[in-house]
Amino acid sequence: MDNRRAVGSWLSGPRAAAEGMGVEFGYRGRRLGLPEHGPGSIAPLGRRVGALAVDWALCMLIAYGLFAHGDRQALSNWTLAVFFVLSLLTVGTVGSTPGKRVLGLRVVAEGGGRLGVLRVLLRSVLLCLAVPALIWDRDSRGLHDRLARAVQVRI
């Protein structure tokens, strides 16, 4: 047995090991029927994190100006509440938050089109819990998107 191959597959992860054995995964979004590049393709991680940072900063500004009155603990709690409301209202109506819009992203249903009210509510609650957003599938969708049957795509 060649120990270098065994160590290499262990270090590179299970996907690389499976690809080395001939398994084809394809590009991100292939299983969902999305294009590989361009509009309608799966949103890259960097843009999604950037959009989250823009949205969080906006929510902090709103919470600080309207609710917190200089109290740091209150600021973090109000920021999360404002983030929840912002996500619920903007994704439910126009399909993207201000941060997603600035970075050219949109949240759509798996089959295309808008998400329903209950799916947006589920997605927003899970996103505010944070842990579901950190668990991804092979299409780079967070558990919050997967359970809500949503996809973040490029505009």
> For residue 20, what pLDDT is reported?
76
pLDDT tens profile 31-78: 899 999 999 999 999 999 999 999 999 999 999 999 988 888 899 999
> For residue 6, what pLDDT is reported?
53
Contacts of 116 (CB under 8 A, 6+ apart): 109
| Token code pair at residue 146 | 């997967």
> For residue 3, what pLDDT is reported?
52
Question: Per-residue pLDDT for 125 more than 60?
Answer: yes
73-93 average pLDDT score: 95
Q: Residue 21: beta bridge partners?
A: none
User: For the whole model, what pTM was predicted?
Assistant: 0.84
Separation of CA 24 from chain center: 24
> For residue 145, what pLDDT is reported?
96
Average pLDDT, the chain: 90
